[in-house]
Amino acid sequence: MTDTRRRLLDMGCQNPIILLHHWRMKQHDKVLEDGVLDPETTVVSIFPSPMHYAGPTEVQWHAKARINAGANFYIVGRDRAGMGLESEYVKVQSMAPGLERLNILPFKVAAYDKTQGKMAFFDPSRAQEFLFISGTKMRTLARNKENPPDGFMCPGGWKVLVEYYDSLAPADNGKVPVPT
């Protein structure tokens, strides 16, 4: 990964930050500790691949990487790497040799249910009762040390996110330190 960072700098990237694995692992630990996921049936692993792709290429890359790691199923979130309709995504999956072996499990759209005070599957008939909190909104809240609604994320996981943004405080020279 240090070579990847050097190569990105050589290509002219101003401040490439490779996936923050140690912070992600801290957050995953809290998710397991808080019981959001069962530690007996959950495998946490990291695939340190730099983001040099997007759209259909990203879809195929992630799927192929999972096949190579022994996965039989691929859970696909609501975004599908910006692919739009699920039918388009399935078509892209079928375009790469070997991907037809992978069973795609669509993940239902989840959002914060204001009436239940927790994340739940989105119900279009009650759309006004749901709140979609984007990654940008989450990062803004964490940077400002504000909390998301109770039940949005486990408290331990949220605390790690806030600690990460605290660690980015500018040094004496006014520059944000690069995570190592």
Q: Nearest CA to 92 among 72, 74, 114?
A: 74
How much is the pLDDT for 180?
43
The answer to whether residue 161 scores a pLDDT higher than 50 is yes
Work out the angle at residue 90's Cα, subtended by the Cα atoms of residues 84 and 95, and round it to the nearest 5 degrees: 115
DSSP the chain: -HHHHHHHHHTT-SS-----HHHHHHHHHHHHHTTSS-TTT-------------HHHHHHHHHHHHHHTT-SEEEE-SSGGGT-SHHHHHHHHHHSTTGGGSEEEEPPPEEEETTTTEEEE--GGGGGGEE---HHHHHHHHHTTPPPPTTSS-HHHHHHHHHHHHHT---TTSPPPPP-
How much is the pLDDT for 7?
74
Average pLDDT for 10-15? 77
How much is the pLDDT for 2?
56
Q: Which residues pair with 113 in a beta bridge?
A: 118, 130
Per the structure, the complete domain to which residue 88 belongs is given by: 52-107
Query: SS3 letters for 62-113?
Result: HHHHHHHCCCCEEEECCCHHHCCCHHHHHHHHHHCCCHHHCEEEECCCEEEE
Q: What is the pLDDT of residues 94-152, one digit of tens each?
A: 666 677 777 776 677 889 999 999 999 999 999 999 999 988 899 899 999 999 999 99
pLDDT band at 1 (very low <50, low <70, confident <90, very high): very low
* Residue 84 is assigned to a structural domain of this protein: yes
What CATH number did the domain enclosing 118 receive?
3.40.50.620
113 and 42, same structural domain?
yes
The answer to whether residue 153 scores a pLDDT higher than 60 is yes
The answer to whether residue 173 scores a pLDDT higher than 90 is no
* Residue 178 is assigned to a structural domain of this protein: no
Number of domains in the chain: 2
Can you tell me the distance from the alpha carbon of 143 to that of 12, in angstroms, rounded to the nearest whole number? Answer: 27
121 and 41, same structural domain?
yes
Q: What is the pLDDT of residues 50-109, one digit of tens each?
A: 666 666 777 777 778 888 888 777 766 555 445 555 566 566 666 666 777 777 766 778
Distance of CA 118 to the CA centre of its chain: 19
- Kindly report which listed range (25-39, 98-112, 139-153, 165-179) carries the lowest average pLDDT score: 165-179
127 and 102, same structural domain?
no
Q: What is the pTM of this model?
A: 0.66
* Residue 140 is assigned to a structural domain of this protein: yes
Half-sphere exposure of 147 toward its Cβ, with a 13 Å CA cutoff?
Answer: 10
44 and 118, same structural domain?
yes
